[in-house]
A and B are shown apart, each in its own frame.
Chain A
Amino acid sequence: MKRGVSPVIATVLLIALVVGLSVIVFLWFRSFTQETITKFGGQNIELSCGQLAISAEYSGGQLAISNTGNVPIYSFNVRVDGSGGNYSTSDISVLVNSWPSSGLNQGGTFQGTMSGVSGASDIVLIPVLKGSTNNGELKSYTCSDQYGYKVTV
């Protein structure tokens, strides 16, 4: 009794503690990481953002967009840049009428009346793509601002 717990029990306790701590650390760390979304058979969707090719212009209240690449674009987040460094971001379906629900596929184009840009100096179209998760679930992914397309208004 004076010698304390037996080596076997000590080892089991040690392993149980390590496993328990590992699980807790894993669950805690997982909340900091994004779920992997892939496209085109396993390519991370972040890489697809770099393969986008679009053209866009704004004139007389009309916004025109053309997908000239081979990556389908599901939607856009529109950053409206105002004076003095102010900006606001909205989904494109809020700012334009009749945005196609399926987005812009290969060769797809869009033209529609745009609101909410009065007083803005330019807008930035930030692409939103759709990919699949490890579970096969379809999820949208917003590309980072560096892949945005700037349009002067």
Chain B
Amino acid sequence: MSYQVNRRNRDRGESRNKRGVSVIIGYILLVAIVVAISVGVYTWMKSYVPQDALQCPDGVSVSIPDYTYDCATNQLNLSIQNSGTFSIAGYFIKATNNSGLTLATIDLTPYYHGTGSLANNAILFSSYLSGLNSKDPGAKVPQEGNTFSIPSYYGKILRIEITPARYVTYNNKIRFATCGNAIVSERLSCS
């Protein structure tokens, strides 16, 4: 009798303990699994969080007030003015000698002689790599500051395209941005 009571009590106690422990372990396991899955999904998906694209503000604009193009020597002098509302750092300049194509694809940067400097396939207004947008709105670079001695094998240049560029802060870094929405084009005629 006494043995049966003891065993019943022991069994009750054991089963009660087992239930208690399993519930706590169940919760811990559940929380641990949820946390682990959350960490995994975050790690997997974090690269898909969109960031702002590297781009120029809308108010960037340049113009070509005047130019001189000597067809005999293939030398081009042009003045550039910042006609926008933001300061700019430099520009890309391309030319075309093909009347069938509207895109200008000849890079004139290697043939540049002027007061600026070259970087990232672009011409910077500053004479050194300052990382600054050195031409304020309204500022103008005269023709003497932008001379291009274009090799004769290109033949006559028909048109040039200028794309302004500026330094912008992107992901806490200063990056050089092309202002593709502010391209200006000029049809050339011999002086």
Contacts and interface: CB of A to CB of B under 8 A. Distances in A.
A71 B102 CA distance: 22
B169 to A, nearest CB: 13
A59 B100 contact: yes
A57 to B, nearest CB: 6
A41 to B, nearest CB: 5
Interface string B100-111: 111111110000
A111 B183 CA distance: 19
Interface in B89-147: 92, 94, 98, 100-107, 120-122
Contact of A62 (B51, B54, B101): B101
A57 B55 contact: no
Contacts of A105: 120-121
A110 B175 CA distance: 23
B3 to A, nearest CB: 20
A38 B180 CA distance: 24
Nearest to A105: B121
B188 interface: no
Given A44-B47, A53-B180, A69-B180, A109 B103 contact: yes
Chain B interface category by residue count:
20 to 34
A36 interface: yes
Contact of A47 (B51, B102, B170): B51
Contacts, number: 86
Contacts of A121: none
A110 to B, nearest CB: 6
A68 B163 CA distance: 8
B5 interface: no
Contacts of B104: 66, 109
B101 A64 contact: yes
Interface in B134-177: 163, 165, 170-171, 175-177
B103 A66 contact: yes
Given A57-B101, A68-B183, A106-B121, 5 more contacts: A46-B48, A62-B101, A107-B163, A109-B105, A111-B98
For the complex of A and B, 8 pairs with smallest distance between CB atoms: A68-B180, A107-B92, A44-B47, A111-B105, A109-B105, A59-B100, A64-B103, A51-B53
27 contacts: A38-B47, A40-B171, A41-B171, A42-B47, A43-B51, A46-B48, A51-B53, A57-B103, A59-B98, A60-B100, A62-B98, A62-B100, A64-B101, A64-B103, A64-B105, A66-B103, A68-B180, A70-B54, A70-B180, A105-B121, A106-B165, A106-B177, A106-B178, A107-B163, A107-B178, A109-B106, A110-B105
